[in-house]
C-alpha cells in the first residue's frame, strides 16, 4: 500500500489560536501616531489638573500632609488605612499641628509671642514675616560665607598637607558653603547633603579661617547658626503646606502601582498588604489605588466631577481616535493617518463621550433610587415598618446595581472599540459591551488577564528604555557641560552645571521594576540655586525630559486602547460570527467585508487564509 506524507510549511496561528492576536498589541501600540495621540491626551489632562489644583489650593482645599521622623503621610494614605471617623480626627489633628508649628516657628524667628505670630500669619506667609523681620539676613550671611570660604581655602593651600589631603579639605569647605547657600536660598538641603553635613556646615566653615579671632568665630558661628535655623524652619513649614489634590493623587497612584509591581516580583498576590505596607501585595496595592479614587470622589466631589468630565472629553477624543487606528490595522492592515482618525473621532465625539457617561448615569440613578427608598423611613412608625417589609426589593435593586457595576467594569474597555469598529452610537456600544461580558464572561476575563500581564511586561520594557535613555544622555552631556568636572554652576562650588539644573539618580538608585520607595527614574529639577540663564535652560530641559516620560504613560494608554480593540474583535467573532476583516468604512457608510477591502499586504492575506499545506506523494517502499 503506498504511503503518503505531508510537509508542514506554515501555520496560521491566528486561525488555530485566535487569542494569539492579542500579542500583536505591542507592535500596534508602539506606532508613533498612536503614541502621539495618547501623549496629546496626557498633556492636555496634565495641564488641566495643574490648573484645577491651583484653584482648589487657593480656595483652601489642598491636600494635608503629616510629617514626622518616620516620613510623610498624605490624606490618601490616611484614608486608605483609617476608618471614616479616625480619618476625620486625623485630618483635624494635622491641621491644628500645622497651625501650631507655624505660629511657634514665626514666634521663635521674630522674637514675638505665639498670639502675635498667629495674628501676623493671618495676612502674610511665614517666609514673608521672617524676611521682613531680618531684612539683611541673607545678604550678610552670603557675604560672611564667601569671606570664610576664601580664608579657609587660602589656609588649606598654605598648609603642609599632602595634595590629596588638601584636595579633600577644599572639597569639604566648598560643600559646607554650598549647604549654607542652599538653605539661605530656600532649598531643602536634605536632598543633597547628609544630616551631619548640615549640622556641622557653619562651624566647619568659620573655624577653617585662621585669620579670625576666637571671639569673632563664636559670634559668626552664632550668626550663621541662628540664620540657618530660621530658614530651616521655614523650609519645613513650606513642606507642610497643602498641596494640589490631583497631583497628590497622581503621586499616590504611581506609588500604588509601583507597590503592585513589587508585589508581583515578590510573589505576593493576595489582598493583604496595602501599598504603604513594608511588604505590599498585588491585590492589596490595587485596592489602595481604588481607594485613592474613592478619596477624591468622597472628599473632593466637585473636583472629582469637574476633572472627570474634562478627562472623559479629552480621552474620548484621543482614545476614540486610537481605537479607530487600531481597528483599521487589526482588520484591514491599514494604518490610517492622524488627520483621518481625528476627523472620525470628531464626528463620533458625542458617541464616545456618552458611552462613557451613560453607565455612570445608570449607576447613579440606581443608587439614588435606593436612597429614595431609604428616605421613606422618615414617615413616623409606618415608614420603618414598610422599609423592613419591602427590604427584599431593596436587595434586588442592590443586586442589579452590583451586577451592572461589575459588568460595566469588565465591559467598559469595549465601548470605544465598538464605536470605532462599527461606526455605531453609544447605545450600541453599551449593549454590545455588556452583552459580550454576559455571554463570554470567562473569555473576557481570560483575555483581560493576558492583556494586563503582557501589557505590564511591555510597559516595563518601554520604561527601562526611557530610563537608560535619560541616564546615558545625562552622563554624556554632563561630561561636556562640566568639562569633565572642572566647571561648576554659577551659584555653587560643588555642583556641576547639568547636575545643578537636572539631577539624575545614580545607577544603584534605579531599578528595572519600580518600587513604592524608589527614586523617580526621570530625576529632579530645581534643587540647587541657579542663575537666570541656568533656570531657563533647566526649564527647557525639563520640558523635553517630561515629554519623554509622558510618552511612557502614553504608550500604556495606547496599549490599553489597542488591546481592548483586539479583544473586542475576538469576542465579536465568537458571539456574532462576524469576520475579523469587517470594519465600518466612512466611504461606503457600512462595514466592508474582506472581499471589498483593498489588499495592501500580500503577507496579511496569506496569514488570514492560512498557508496551504502541499502534499507530496512518496514512492512505495
Task: Identify the residue with better confidence: 564 or 513.
Answer: 564
Give residue-wise pLDDT tens across range 44-85.
Answer: 999 999 999 999 999 888 888 887 766 788 888 889 888 878
- Local confidence band at 12 (pLDDT 50, 70, 90 cut-offs): low
Residue pair 259/516 in contact (Cβ under 8 Å)? The answer is: yes
Judge if 304 and 185 occupy the same domain.
Answer: no
For residues 303 and 378, state if they share a domain. Answer: yes
Domain-embedded: residue 457 = no
Do 119 and 142 belong together in one domain? no
Domain for residue 509, yes or no? no
- pLDDT of 394 > 80? The answer is yes
Q: Which residues form the domain of 114?
A: 71-128
Find out whether 252 and 290 touch, Cβ atoms under 8 Å. no
260 and 166 part of one domain: no
DSSP state of 520: P
* Model pLDDT, residue 597: 42
Task: Assess whether 338 and 385 both reside in one domain.
Answer: yes
pLDDT of residue 594: 47
Domain assignment present for 295: yes
Q: Is 301 within a domain?
A: yes
Domain tally for the chain? 3
Residue 282 has pLDDT above 90, yes or no: no
- Looking at residue 323, what is its pLDDT? 93
Q: Average of pLDDT values for 134-150?
A: 87
Listing DSSP states for 126-185 in one string gives HHHHHHHHSTTHHHHHHHHHHHHHHHHHHHHHHS-S-HHHHHHHHHHHHHHHHHHHHHHT
Highest mean pLDDT range out of 17-26, 208-217, 245-254?
Answer: 245-254
Please check whether residues 284 and 172 belong to one and the same domain: no
- Percent with pLDDT over 70 in the chain: 90
Task: Give SS3 for 503.
Answer: strand
Q: Which domain-ending residue is among 414, 439, 464?
A: 439
Over its C-alpha atoms, the chain yields an Rg (Å, rounded) of 32
Can you list the pairs that 520-523 forms with residues at least 24 positions away whose Cβ atoms lie under 8 Å? Answer: 521/463, 521/466, 521/467, 521/470, 522/470, 522/546, 522/548, 522/549, 523/470, 523/474
338 and 433 both lie in a single domain: yes
Residue 193 belongs to some domain of the structure: yes
Section 298-324 average pLDDT: 93
Question: How does residue 139 score in pLDDT terms, banded at 50, 70 and 90?
Answer: confident
Residue 580, in any domain of the structure: no
Query: Is 318 inside any structural domain?
Result: yes
- Convert the pLDDT of each residue in 557-601 to its tens digit: 999 999 999 999 999 888 888 887 888 776 545 555 544 444 444
Query: pLDDT at residue 131 above 60?
Result: yes
- In this structure, the answer to whether residues 263 and 192 fall within a common structural domain is no
One domain, residues 349 and 208: no
Model confidence pLDDT, tens digit, residues 450-482: 898 899 889 999 999 999 999 999 999 988 887
The reported pLDDT for the residue numbered 11 is 52
Mean pLDDT, the chain, integer: 84
Q: What percent of the chain has pLDDT over 90?
A: 26
Do 333 and 398 share a structural domain? yes
Answer yes or no: is pLDDT of 375 > 60: yes
Is the torsion defined by CA of 495, 498, 500, 505 positive or negative? negative
SS3 content of the chain, % helix, strand, coil (to 5): 70, 5, 25
The reply to whether 429 falls in a domain is yes
Cell of 231: 530658614
Last-in-domain residue among 128, 145, 165: 128
Check residues 258 and 324 and name the one with the higher pLDDT: 324
307 vs 138: which has the higher pLDDT:
307
Task: Note whether 186 and 260 are same-domain residues.
Answer: no
Report the pLDDT value the prediction gives residue 601, as an integer from 0 to 100: 40
152 and 116 together in one domain: no
Q: Determine the longest span between alpha carbons in the chain, in angstroms.
A: 116
Q: Tell me the C-alpha distance between 450 and 552, whole Å.
A: 20
The total of other beta-carbon atoms located within 10 Å of residue 41's CB is: 24
Cβ atoms of 62 and 242 closer than 8 Å: yes
The residue among 176, 203, 218 that closes a domain is 218
Amino acid at each position: 500500500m503506498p504511503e503518503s506524507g505531508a510537509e508542514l510549511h506554515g501555520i496560521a496561528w491566528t486561525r488555530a489560536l485566535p487569542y494569539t492576536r492579542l500579542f500583536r498589541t505591542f507592535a500596534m501600540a508602539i506606532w508613533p501616531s498612536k503614541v502621539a495621540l495618547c501623549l496629546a491626551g496626557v498633556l492636555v489632562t496634565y495641564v488641566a489638573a495643574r490648573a484645577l489644583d491651583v484653584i482648589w489650593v487657593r480656595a483652601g482645599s489642598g491636600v494635608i500632609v503629616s510629617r514626622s521622623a518616620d516620613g510623610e503621610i498624605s490624606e490618601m494614605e490616611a484614608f486608605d488605612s483609617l476608618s471614616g471617623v479616625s480619618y476625620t480626627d486625623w485630618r483635624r489633628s494635622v491641621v491644628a499641628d500645622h497651625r501650631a508649628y507655624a505660629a511657634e516657628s514665626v514666634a521663635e524667628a521674630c522674637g514675638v509671642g505665639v498670639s502675635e505670630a498667629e495674628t501676623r500669619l493671618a495676612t502674610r506667609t511665614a517666609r514673608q514675616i521672617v524676611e521682613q523681620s531680618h531684612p539683611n539676613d541673607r545678604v550678610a550671611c552670603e557675604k560672611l560665607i564667601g569671606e570664610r570660604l576664601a580664608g579657609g581655602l587660602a589656609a588649606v593651600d598654605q598648609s603642609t598637607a599632602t595634595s590629596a589631603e588638601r584636595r579633600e579639605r577644599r572639597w569639604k569647605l566648598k560643600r559646607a558653603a554650598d549647604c549654607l547657600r542652599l538653605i539661605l536660598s530656600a532649598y531643602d538641603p536634605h536632598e543633597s547633603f547628609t544630616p551631619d553635613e548640615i549640622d556641622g556646615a557653619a562651624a566647619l566653615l568659620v573655624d577653617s579661617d585662621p585669620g579670625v579671632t576666637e571671639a569673632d568665630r563664636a559670634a559668626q558661628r552664632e550668626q550663621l547658626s541662628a540664620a540657618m535655623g530660621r530658614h530651616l524652619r521655614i523650609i519645613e513649614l513650606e513642606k507642610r503646606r497643602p498641596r494640589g489634590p490631583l497631583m497628590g493623587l497622581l503621586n499616590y497612584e504611581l506609588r500604588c502601582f509601583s507597590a503592585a509591581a513589587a508585589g508581583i516580583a515578590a510573589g505576593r498576590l493576595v489582598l493583604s498588604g496595602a501599598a504603604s505596607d513594608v511588604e505590599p501585595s498585588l491585590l492589596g496595592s490595587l485596592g489602595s489605588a481604588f481607594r485613592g479614587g474613592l478619596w477624591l470622589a468622597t472628599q473632593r466631589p466637585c473636583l472629582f466631577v469637574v476633572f472627570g468630565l474634562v478627562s472623559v472629553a479629552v480621552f474620548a477624543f484621543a482614545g476614540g481616535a486610537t481605537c479607530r487606528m487600531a481597528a483599521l490595522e487589526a482588520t484591514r492592515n491599514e494604518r490610517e493617518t492622524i488627520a483621518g482618525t481625528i476627523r472620525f473621532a470628531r464626528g463620533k465625539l458625542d458617541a464616545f463621550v456618552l458611552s462613557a457617561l451613560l453607565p455612570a448615569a445608570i449607576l447613579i440613578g440606581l443608587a439614588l433610587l435606593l436612597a429614595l427608598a431609604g428616605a421613606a423611613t422618615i414617615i413616623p412608625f409606618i415608614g420603618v415598618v414598610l422599609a423592613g417589609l419591602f427590604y427584599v426589593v431593596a436587595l434586588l435593586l442592590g443586586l442589579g446595581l452590583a451586577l451592572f457595576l461589575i459588568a460595566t467594569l469588565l465591559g467598559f474597555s469595549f465601548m470605544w472599540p465598538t464605536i470605532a469598529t462599527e461606526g455605531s452610537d453609544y447605545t450600541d456600544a453599551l449593549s454590545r459591551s455588556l452583552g459580550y461580558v454576559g455571554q463570554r464572561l470567562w473569555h473576557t476575563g481570560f483575555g483581560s488577564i493576558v492583556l494586563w500581564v503582557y501589557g505590564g511586561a511591555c510597559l516595563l520594557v518601554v520604561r527601562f528604555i526611557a530610563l537608560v535613555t535619560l541616564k546615558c544622555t545625562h552622563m554624556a552631556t554632563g561630561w561636556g557641560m562640566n568639562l569633565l568636572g572642572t566647571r561648576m554652576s554659577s551659584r555653587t562650588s560643588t555642583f556641576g552645571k547639568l547636575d545643578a539644573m537636572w539631577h539624575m539618580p545614580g545607577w544603584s538608585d534605579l531599578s528595572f521594576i519600580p518600587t513604592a520607595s524608589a527614586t523617580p527614574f526621570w530625576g529632579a529639577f530645581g534643587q540647587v540655586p541657579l542663575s537666570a540663564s541656568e533656570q531657563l535652560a533647566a526649564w527647557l530641559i525639563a520640558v523635553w525630559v517630561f515629554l519623554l516620560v509622558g510618552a511612557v504613560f502614553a504608550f500604556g494608554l495606547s496599549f490599553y486602547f489597542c488591546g481592548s480593540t483586539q479583544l473586542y474583535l475576538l469576542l465579536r467573532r465568537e458571539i456574532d460570527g462576524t469576520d475579523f476583516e469587517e470594519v465600518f468604512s466612512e466611504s461606503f457608510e457600512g462595514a466592508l467585508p474582506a472581499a471589498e477591502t483593498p489588499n495592501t499586504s500580500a503577507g496579511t492575506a496569506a496569514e488570514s487564509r492560512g498557508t496551504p499545506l502541499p502534499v507530496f506523494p512518496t514512492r512505495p517502499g
